[in-house]
Amino acid sequence: MPNEQSNIVGHHYVQPNLRKNGAIMSNWTRICTLEDIPRQGSRVVESDSGRIALFRTHDNEVFALADRCPHKGGPLSQGIVCGCKVTCPLHNWNIHLADGKAIAPDEGQTATYPVKLEGGAVFIQL
């Protein structure tokens, strides 16, 4: 279930705090609980800096990446999570969740955001 600080539009979380006064907040922002992110799946946060995909691995690690493949901008949040990588749904590039880098022979990198888990809640830092 979503927490009381987030609104849900479809399967996307919209975090009002990220847009406060039109400015990007620089401190940690609580997004949801770990359980709100499907294991080996993702959730999307809409922010002023664009869509951010939160990924949860089988081992309950959480990573935050721009929801934009470094190849041609495919929606990584709709890809398949396997281990600590996600496969882009458009042309099957594999992207490391930890650093956003494409796995060789492909080249490129998508932005990543710091994530922390506290008391079962997921926070990201912009």
3-state SS class at 95: strand
Q: How far is the CB of 80 from ligand FES (least distance, A)?
A: 12
Q: Name the residue nearer to ligand FES (CB basis): 2 or 73.
A: 73
Output the CA torsion 100→96→108→111 (10° steps): -10
Q: How far apart are CA 103 and CA 27, in angstroms?
A: 31
- Please answer whether residues 102 and 93 qualify as being in contact, where contact means their C-beta atoms are separated by less than 8 angstroms: yes
55 part of the interface to ligand FES, by CB under 6 A: no
**How would you class 30 by CB atoms within 10 Å of its CB: exposed for 0-12, middle for 13-18, buried for 19 or more?**
middle
Residue 34 C-beta: closest distance to ligand FES, Å: 27
Count of residues interacting with ligand FES (CB under 6 A): 9
Does position 121 bind ligand FES by CB under 6 A?
no
Q: How far is the CB of 69 from ligand FES (least distance, A)?
A: 3
| Nearest of 122, 115, 3 to residue 65 by alpha carbon | 115
Binders of ligand FES among 60-99, rule CB under 6 A? 69, 71-74, 88, 90-91, 93
Q: 11 or 72, CB closer to ligand FES?
A: 72
Instruction: Give residues in contact with ligand FES (CB under 6 A).
Output: 69, 71-74, 88, 90-91, 93
